[in-house]
Amino acid sequence: MLVKQLSVFMENRPGRLYKLTHALGKEGIDFVTLSIADTKDFGIVRFIARDNEKAYEILKKEGFTVGITELIGVEVADKPNALAEVVSLMEESQINIEYLYSFVLTNHNTAKILMRVNDTDRALTILQNKGIKLLSEKIL
């Protein structure tokens, strides 16, 4: 029911992101999505690859500080207010969204939302009860 994501700790200085993307690119790893949380000194790069396991192995071998996290993924219609509806469900139940990002695949009319919350099990139940389509790694 959950989507696997890779997260990499990175110093906030020139050349670091290139090193990461190049390490994966030259091994033929394709990104599905990528986002960066940045602070003055460091950033955390979060991404999903077509082949997460392989990406993880490559990065480990290259010495990156990399981990795999599981996120809730939902699919909604690519239209106004779709994101707000999902977010409001969490808010009503007092579930805190720790971070969230979304993306649209060009050949679909849907948007994918990925989020990490402080109570994954309860969030999943709520979303399922409301009939919201949950993503798994395969659907991506």
Buried b (16+ CB within 10 A) or exposed e, 55-84: bbebbeeeebebeeeebbbbbbeeeeebee
Mark the segment that binds another protein (CB under 8 A) among 59-67, 73-81, 105-113, 119-127: 59-67
Rounded CA separation 103/32 (Å): 9
Residue 67 binds another protein (CB under 8 A): yes
Unique residue bearing structure tokens 């659907």: 139
Residue 68 binds another protein (CB under 8 A): yes
Q: How far is the CB of 74 from another protein (least distance, A)?
A: 19
Compare residues 44 and 110 and give the one whose CB is closer to another protein: 44
Q: How far is the CB of 46 from another protein (least distance, A)?
A: 6
